[in-house]
Amino acid sequence: MFKYISKKLTKNYENVPLLYIMFNLNKYKNVGKRGSCELRLHPSLKDDEFIVKQLNNVVDYIRENYDMEDLSK
């Protein structure tokens, strides 16, 4: 599915998405904060530990400081 979305958003490779952050409200309600957000990085960036760590901090900050139900509408 990630490849399909990437192809749809590349627009003839003039614009290439570097990351996606997807939120699953049902998982958030059933399981809690952990595992409710999915972070996908461009294949060239996914092995960079610094980028992964920083983006995980961003995702954690969003989950802690914003109402997830309002964001998912």
Quick check: 68 pLDDT over 80?
no
Would the CA dihedral through 20, 25, 30, 33 be positive or negative?
positive
What mean pLDDT comes out for the span 17-23?
80
Q: How far apart are CA 68 and CA 25, in angstroms?
A: 7
**Whether pTM exceeds 0.85:** no
- How far apart, in Å, are the Cα atoms of 21 and each of 12, 14, 25, 36, 53? 22, 21, 13, 10, 14
Percent of the chain whose pLDDT exceeds 70? 75
Quick check: 53 pLDDT over 80?
yes
Beta bridge partners of 20: 40
